Each structure stands twice: as structure tokens, then as C-alpha cells.
Amino acid sequence: MDLSFTTAEESFRSELRAWLDGHLPRGWVDGAVEHDTLAGEVAFLVDWQKQLHAGGWVGVHWPREYGGREASATEQLVFLEELTRAGAPDVGMNFVGLLHAGPTIMTEGTPEQKARYLPAILRGEEIWCQGFSEPNAGSDLASLRTRAVRDGDDYVVSGQKMWSSYAHGADYCEMLVRTDPDAPKHKGITWVVMPMDSPGIDVRPLVNIFGSGEFAEMFLDEVRIPVANTVGAENDGWRVAMVTFSFERGTAFVHEMLVIMHIARQLIEVNDDLATGRELGRVAAHLDALWALTKRNVSQAARTGAPGIGGSVLKLHLSEVTQRVFDLGRRVLGRVALSRDDLDVGGDLRSGLVMTERLRHMSMTIAAGTSQVQRNIVAERILGLPKEPVWTSS
Amino acid sequence: MDFELSDDQVALAEGIAKLCAGRVPPPRLRELEQAGGIDRDLWRELGDAGVFALRLPEDAGGVGLGMAEAGVVFQELGRALVPGPLIWSHLASSFEPQAATGARIFTGVVHDGSTRLVIDHLGVTDSVVVIGPEAVSVVPASDVADRARAVAVPTDPLTPVWLVDVNDVPAGEPAGNGELATRLLREGAALAAAQQVGIARATTDLAVAYAKEREQFNRPIGSFQAVKHILADMLVRAEVARAAADAAAVTLDQPEVGDPALAVAGAKAVADEAAVRNSEACIQVHGGMGFTWEALPHLYLKRAWVLDAAFGSADASADEVARLVKQQSR
């Protein structure tokens, strides 16, 4: 067990730090740049990604042949750590392209698809959204019902998709559709690329619990998608969608975690209640433990290519500890918690941000597999417990 | 950076696990309840295996390893419920050669402001390490035991305890100053956290095995989500605590990677909580059998309580984390 970084890892860090010193967007510290509109936020993030790309800092973990640096899992950790410590913007709406659609196309796409989509994702020129979930396909995603019917060289797609972040600003949608309604549910799904300017797509914003409209639902009415836009084989889309997860190397929550650790420290600084102080000490200890677990997961990924059991463990625990941190934050604020405007509470703590995050992190035990589904997965796949007769985790 | 166990560390853990499985299997543990939790032959074997002299330099008869390896070893000792003042004897080895070999058994006490001290294993050990705020000393156990009263029913049947008035603890032979005191308390907390991790993992394994085998409603109880979720949470607590305890031990070896005081206090808080809650959950999963003296789970819970009360409780450690963070931010 060695927690010190190698000379090569440290020089990767210094190179990045030097670049960040010269390029960090002006006025941007800890997300303090406020955008009046979503379009303003999108423009800001697109510009930031272009700068990152020009410096060679996008898709650092991507293979060189697709424009990446082939950074090791540890370097990826260092990359995210440095960006967060510098207060740089998070990956934002480039998330789907860089971390989902890109890696999937890289692995499963044809040479033409790779050439068509990957460079634009890296340059931040084309924004992707995700069309996986549906009103009746949440935890049971494989029961999705958006139909794709073959008509010549096109699929004709009708149905409804939900939780598609940034769909209104996106150029493409990575989408799961049902191509064989008679096959068992996992066997009749296909992974397709839907251009967002296709006729028949109605994107409606879905305002979330803290009042932000980045979510959208999409109503699809006979949208024509070329069959050539299929990634992987027809009816093999479930497997193709799972490929995304094989790119996870234990770094999924690094940015989030470092931000939360910082806020937990700020809360300890301004808190003056003994009982709350003890609980804050406890959650700070849990966050440090999760940071250690992150390093373990990354180390395992560096050795084997995957973070192992630590990935599920981390997600389950981090989501709950995070909710505790922000609820303690609400308690520290007292009646200041009635305001989501930042009010002065001493130190550098942004009180309004605490309340927004308090709300935002309610999604952490729901999104990307509810904690209940995660526990089933941990129990069945890691601990080897028998399945319940009807319900299934796969 | 590579935070996975090295091959040597894995081999060390396996070696200690094998020694424990051979020498202190559950039936032997039950016999030790009658012997005050101490088996002097076992103690010497632990000494021969390097449990106490692990961190001494090789030219001083030690194994020359660090806290990371000590943590790995103590996780296995915790997992096997090995009784006795293991941590105190390990700590004493840095200034008492006879502790290092296992020839003499050392327990310890911390002057924490209490007027009535509760000392474990006092009557069945040879020496007591006394930690005051500014000094460390060593007292013959009999000198303290003469003025102490044995508790008739110790909470952990494998951890007998004695009560003594703080004024009845002799000054003893000086062993070191406040710096040594701080170091021993910190290392002791890291090793207690490691033992707690062993308990958190052992109770997970025990409960999972039982849930696979025990049938009700014509199927293993481990197939029910209500039970599964308890077990998944146990794994989460054990793995999070293991990462924390390992990081604390490594940080003591490599202070340049973090703040050892913060890492140790945090690990103790997380590991105490994991051990206590997993032991409770293990009893719950065992149902009525878990409530019996015959079944193992209660021994884990009681040991977890003993370790929570040693070298800074979970609550005191959480307070310490908050204090250190507040101090750093100034």
C-alpha cells in the first residue's frame, strides 16, 4: 500500500497545474459565475471545453488514436483533483458525450461512426444527451417501450424518454429503443444515435426539485433515424449500453466528492453547536474514508482495468453521507436555511449553495440506480445471495 | 500511488489468519473465557510470528515492517476475536524487549481524567503501561492489582476488567515523555481501528453465510430484499472502514501524504461505528439464535464495544476530527 505519487504522476500534475494557472476562466471560482439563462451556461461550458481541448486536456483517459492522452487511472484521478482544486467548471453537459456516448462508440462503433462523432465530442462542438429512461422504465430500464419500426433504411421511432439532461441544447441523443417487442426484454433493445434536429422530436423542460430546468422529457412521434446510426448489432443494445460501465475506473465521483469535502470543512469552521460539531466530525471522517476508498478503487482499476466491488460500495455510501453533510449544513444555517440567496454566515461558506445542494443531492440515492437497487446488486453479485423469485437485478 | 495490498501484505494477512484459525478456533475461545482470556503459549506463538515485534528494526530482533503491515495483522487478530491486550503489548515492544517476544504480557491504562480507572486484563498480565498527559511509565501489574478490585461480570467474557482508584496507580519506571505518549495513543487508535475492521468484516461473512443457509418460507432468508439490504450495508461499512484504517496506517508510515492525526481519528470513528453496527446487524440476521450465548455474534458485539472504549471512542474521535479541521482552517 503506497499513497505517494510517482515522479511521472507528479510531473503530470505540475504540467496540468501550470496550464490551469494560465487558462482558468476569469471570475470562475467554485461555480460562482452565475448564468442568466441555460443558453448562457451552455455557451460558457462549450467555450471552456474548447480551451481544454486546445491544451490537450479533454478525454485524457481516451486512447491516443481517438485524440486522448491514454492517461492512467491514477493520472485521471490527479486530473480531476487538480481541476476541482483550481475551481474549474465540471464536465457539465459534455458528460454524456465524453463519458457515455464517446466510449461506447469507441468500443462498439464502425470506423465511419468513430470518425464522424468522436473528434466533435472531444472538441466540445457537439453536445450529446441520453435517451434511456422512460416514464415506465426507471429502475427496470430493460422494460423500455419506445418502439423502432424498420421502414426501408430508416427506423421509425415513437415513444417518450425522460431525465434527458440538456436535451434542448443537444445535437445528438444516445438512445435505447425496442426493435423486437416479442423477444425477452433484454434481447429486443437497440442502441441508436438520434440527431436532435430530426422532425418529430418535442423536447419539454422538466423543472427539478431545486427549480433548474436542465432536465427534459422528449416526446418522439414517428422520428426517422437511419438504420446506419445503429451502434452495435440490432437487438444487442442492452449489452452495448453496459459497455459504458466498463470505462469506469473509480473516478466517477472525484469532483463531486472534493467539493463536498470542502463544504463539510467550511461548515465545521462556522458551526458553534457542540452536538452538530460532533456529527460534522463524523461525516468528515466518512468523507475522508470515501476518499481513501476512491484511491483504492483507482488502484484496483490501474491493476485490473475495473474498480471492482469498491465502485458500488462507494456510490451507496457517498450518496448517503452527502445527504447527511447537507442536512447538517441546513441545521448549521438555522433560519438562514429559509433563503437560497447566499447570506453572510461567516467564513467563505455560501449558504444558498448549501440549500441548493441539500436539494440537488436528494437525487444521489435515486439516479444511476436507486440505493435500493444498488443494495440488491451488491448483495447478489458481490455477496452471492440468491435472487428473489420474481424480481431481478440484471 | 498503489493503495492495494502488496503481495507480501496479502501473504502476511493469510499467515496470521491461518495461525489464528489453528490456535483460537471458536471452541478454544469458549475455553479461554474460563482462563481470563489469556493463553500464554498462544501469546508466545504470536510473539514468534512477529505480532508484537513487527515494527522493531531487524537488528533489534524485530521484523522491520511498518504500521501498514501492523494494521493488516491487527485486522486479522480482530477478525479471529483473539483475546488479550494485544495492542498494549505491541506498543510496549518499542521500549520493552520482553513485550516484543511475548514472554511478558503488557496491558495499559490512560489517565483520561477519570478518578476510577477500568483496566482490562490487569490480574492476568505482567506489566501495565501507564500513559499520562506528559509521560509514559511501566508498573508491575501485581503492584496495581493488589489495590484493584476484579469485576465479577465483565461485559465481554473474554475481556476481564479490574477497577482501581486513580491515586492507587504507582508512578512506576519512566519509559518516555509526552511525545511518546502521543505516539502510543495515536498508534494504539490506528491498531484498534484495524481490529474493528476485522470485526466488521468477520460479522459480514458470518451473517452472509447464515443468510444463505437458513431457510424460512421454503427459501434461504438471504433471498429476501429486507435481509439482503442489511447485508449489503454491512459490506459497505466494512469496506469503507477498511479503506480508512489502511489509509491511517499508511499515513503514519508516510506522513507526507496526509495528516496522521486526522487520518487516525477519522479511521477510529468510522471503524468503531462499522464494527458496532455490523455486530448488531449480525445478531439481527441470526434471529433468535443470534440472541443466544452459544452463537458467536454476541462476542463480536462485546469486543467491538471494548475497542470503541479504547484509544478514543467513536464520539471522541469525531470530536477530534472536527477540532483538527477547525484548527487547520484558522
What is the band of A393 on the pLDDT scale with cuts at 50, 70, 90? low
pLDDT digits (tens, 9 = 90+) for A15-26: 999 999 888 876
Residue A388 lies inside a defined structural domain of this protein:
no
Residue A389 lies inside a defined structural domain of this protein:
no
Distance CA(A88)–CA(A258), nearest Å, equals 12
The mean pLDDT value for B127-133 works out to 95
Res. A312: pLDDT tops 70 = yes
Cβ contact, residue pair B1, A295, below 8 Å: yes
Query: Does residue B250 belong to the interface with chain A, where contact is any CB pair within 8 Å?
Result: yes
Cell of B241: 472502514
Tell me: ipTM over 0.85.
yes
Cβ contact, residue pair B231, A310, below 8 Å: no
Rounded to the nearest angstrom, the minimum Cα separation between B12 and chain A is: 13
* Cα–Cα nearest to A297, from B246, B131, B292: B246
Cβ contact, residue pair B329, A265, below 8 Å: yes
State whether A279 and A309 are in the same domain: yes
Residues from chain A contacting residue B247 (CB–CB below 8 Å): 3, 288-289, 292, 295
How far apart, in Å, are the Cα atoms of A233 and each of A108, A150, A154, A192, A196?
A: 9, 14, 15, 10, 22
Rounded to the nearest angstrom, the minimum Cα separation between A284 and chain B is: 7
The mean pLDDT value for B291-310 works out to 97
Cβ contact, residue pair A388, B68, below 8 Å: no
Of chain B, the end-to-end C-alpha distance in Å amounts to 30
The mean pLDDT value for B8-36 works out to 94
Question: Domain boundary residue among A211, A235, A259?
Answer: A235
Instruction: Name the residue type at position B256.
Output: E
Cβ contact, residue pair A293, B239, below 8 Å: yes
B 217-236 residues inside an 8 A Cβ radius of A: 219-220, 222-225, 228-229, 231-233, 235-236
Out of A279, A372, A383, name the one closest to residue B235 (CB): A383
Query: Does residue B199 belong to the interface with chain A, where contact is any CB pair within 8 Å?
Result: no
pLDDT digits (tens, 9 = 90+) for A33-64: 566 676 777 778 778 888 888 898 998 988 88
Query: Does residue A245 belong to the interface with chain B, where contact is any CB pair within 8 Å?
Result: no
Angle CA B274–B294–B40, to nearest 5: 80
Query: Does residue B66 belong to the interface with chain A, where contact is any CB pair within 8 Å?
Result: no
Q: What chain A residue is nearest to B315 in terms of C-alpha separation?
A: A278
Query: Residue A160: what pLDDT?
Result: 98
Distance CA(A253)–CA(A361), nearest Å, equals 13
* Cα–Cα nearest to A192, from A256, A121, A108: A108
Query: Does residue B70 belong to the interface with chain A, where contact is any CB pair within 8 Å?
Result: no
Distance CA(B306)–CA(B318), nearest Å, equals 18
Query: Are the beta carbons of B76 and B62 closer than 8 angstroms?
Result: no
Residues from chain B contacting residue A299 (CB–CB below 8 Å): 1-4
Query: Does residue A390 belong to the interface with chain B, where contact is any CB pair within 8 Å?
Result: no
Q: Where are the domains of chain B?
A: 179-329
Cβ contact, residue pair B4, A1, below 8 Å: yes
| Residue from B239, B285, B327 whose CB has the most chain A CBs within 10 Å, to mutate | B239
Of A15, A234, A248, A279, which is the active-site residue?
A248
What is the band of A27 on the pLDDT scale with cuts at 50, 70, 90? low
Res. A133: pLDDT tops 90 = yes
How far apart, in Å, are the Cα atoms of A348 and each of A190, A259, A277, B150?
A: 49, 13, 18, 54
Q: What chain A residue is nearest to B323 in terms of C-alpha separation?
A: A281
Cell of A144: 423500455
Query: Residue A5: what pLDDT?
Result: 95
State whether A221 and A335 are in the same domain: no
Residue A118 lies inside a defined structural domain of this protein:
no
Query: Are the beta carbons of B231 and B204 closer than 8 angstroms?
Result: yes
Q: What chain B residue is nearest to A312 in terms of C-alpha separation?
A: B236
Cβ contact, residue pair B236, A317, below 8 Å: yes
Query: Residue B36: what pLDDT?
Result: 84
pLDDT digits (tens, 9 = 90+) for B82-124: 999 999 999 999 999 999 999 999 999 999 999 999 999 999 9
Out of A23-27, A68-72, A151-155, B46-50, least confident range: A23-27
State whether A342 and A302 are in the same domain: yes
The mean pLDDT value for B46-60 works out to 94
Out of B228, B266, B273, name the one closest to residue A379 (CB): B228
Cell of A120: 466533435
Cβ contact, residue pair A285, B329, below 8 Å: no
Query: Does residue A310 belong to the interface with chain B, where contact is any CB pair within 8 Å?
Result: yes
Query: Does residue B5 belong to the interface with chain A, where contact is any CB pair within 8 Å?
Result: yes
CA-CA-CA-CA dihedral for B46, B52, B58, B64, to nearest 10? 110
Distance CA(A69)–CA(A64), nearest Å, equals 5
Where residue A140 sits, what CATH number does that domain have? Answer: 2.40.110.10
Question: Domain boundary residue among A25, A60, A90?
Answer: A90
Out of B208, B318, B328, name the one closest to residue A281 (CB): B318
Q: Is B130 strand, coil or helix?
A: strand
Q: What chain B residue is nearest to A77 in terms of C-alpha separation?
A: B1
A 288-307 residues inside an 8 A Cβ radius of B: 288-290, 292-293, 295-296, 298-300, 302-303
Query: Does residue B185 belong to the interface with chain A, where contact is any CB pair within 8 Å?
Result: no
Other residues' Cβ atoms within 10 Å of the Cβ of residue B307: 27
Res. B54: pLDDT tops 70 = yes
Query: Does residue A206 belong to the interface with chain B, where contact is any CB pair within 8 Å?
Result: no
Running DSSP on this structure, what letter comes out for residue B291?
A: T
State whether A252 and A378 are in the same domain: yes
Count how many domains chain A has. Answer: 3
Rounded to the nearest angstrom, the minimum Cα separation between B236 and chain A is: 5
Out of A5, A285, A379, name the one closest to residue B232 (CB): A379
Out of A3-7, A31-35, A184-188, B88-92, least confident range: A31-35
State whether A353 and A302 are in the same domain: yes
Cβ contact, residue pair B241, A300, below 8 Å: no
| Residue from B67, B228, B315 whose CB has the most chain A CBs within 10 Å, to mutate | B228
What is the band of A181 on the pLDDT scale with cuts at 50, 70, 90? very high
Out of A277, A285, A298, name the one closest to residue B269 (CB): A285
pLDDT digits (tens, 9 = 90+) for B163-213: 999 999 999 999 999 999 999 999 999 999 999 999 999 999 999 999 999
State whether A256 and A138 are in the same domain: no
pLDDT more than 70, % of chain A: 96
Res. A392: pLDDT tops 60 = no
Q: For residue A65, give its domain range.
A: 7-90
Is B179-329 CATH 3.40.50.1370?
no
Of chain A, the end-to-end C-alpha distance in Å amounts to 34
Distance CA(A384)–CA(B223), nearest Å, equals 10
Distance CA(A106)–CA(A56), nearest Å, equals 19
Query: Residue A36: what pLDDT?
Result: 63
What is the band of A128 on the pLDDT scale with cuts at 50, 70, 90? very high
Residue A147 lies inside a defined structural domain of this protein:
yes
Q: What chain A residue is nearest to B314 in terms of C-alpha separation?
A: A282
Cβ contact, residue pair A265, B1, below 8 Å: no
Query: Residue A45: what pLDDT?
Result: 79
Residues from chain B contacting residue A277 (CB–CB below 8 Å): 319, 322
Res. A303: pLDDT tops 80 = yes
Where residue A346 sits, what CATH number does that domain have? Answer: 1.20.140.10
Cβ contact, residue pair A277, B231, below 8 Å: no
Out of A4, A266, A295, name the one closest to residue B254 (CB): A4
Where residue A57 sits, what CATH number does that domain have? Answer: 1.10.540.10
Out of B68, B257, B321, name the one closest to residue A284 (CB): B321
Q: Is A248 one of the annotated active-site residues of the chain? A: yes
Rounded to the nearest angstrom, the minimum Cα separation between B215 and chain A is: 12
State whether A227 and A302 are in the same domain: no
Question: Domain boundary residue among A209, A235, A261?
Answer: A235
